[in-house]
Amino acid sequence: MTLAKGIGGGFPLSAMLAKESLNLFEPGDQGGTYTGQPLAMAAGYAVVSEIIKRKLSQNAEIQGNYTTARLHQIGGRYGLEHIRGKGLLIAFDLPEARGAELVSECMKEGVLINSPSPRTIRLMPALIVTREDIDKMIELLTLVLDKMLIEPKH
């Protein structure tokens, strides 16, 4: 398994995890910008320590489940389909190919979302997100969906 990006908290760092029986590398075999030099290791240690100390993995699971439950609550009203995800990486499909428009309108309300395809919306809140943050996001999302006249289904 390869890990990068967040593991260094913004500092260039990557990691590779493997079972010992599959490990083909000896210490020092790999080198480069994202490898284990001392400053990167200190940054990575600090990041992973905070993740463990603040129980961010558990928060991701709890808040992710809460977010998908809230999306299911409003989903029928707006025809949202295939609500899915793991932890805080969540996606759903719109009934119409208006993802870019939804992203733009949500941004005006201070909600950052992503539309990797015309009908798909992806949510990736911070690992420290709270239930209150999610409730506010759902409130603003419904406001935008109402404004866009995404045809509510009754």
Phi then psi dihedrals of residue 25, to 5 deg: -105, 150
Give the burial class of 19: count Cβ atoms within 10 A of its Cβ; 0-12 exposed, 13-18 middle, 19 or more buried. exposed
Q: Where does the chain have alpha helices with state H? A: 38-53, 56-78, 99-108, 131-147
Can you give the pLDDT of all 154 residues of the chain as single tens digits? Answer: 888 878 888 888 888 888 989 888 887 777 777 777 889 899 999 999 999 999 999 999 999 999 999 999 999 999 999 999 999 999 999 999 999 999 999 999 999 999 999 999 999 999 999 999 999 999 999 999 999 976 555 5
Please indicate, yes or no, whether the overall pTM of this predicted structure exceeds 0.85.
Answer: no
3-state secondary structure of 3: strand
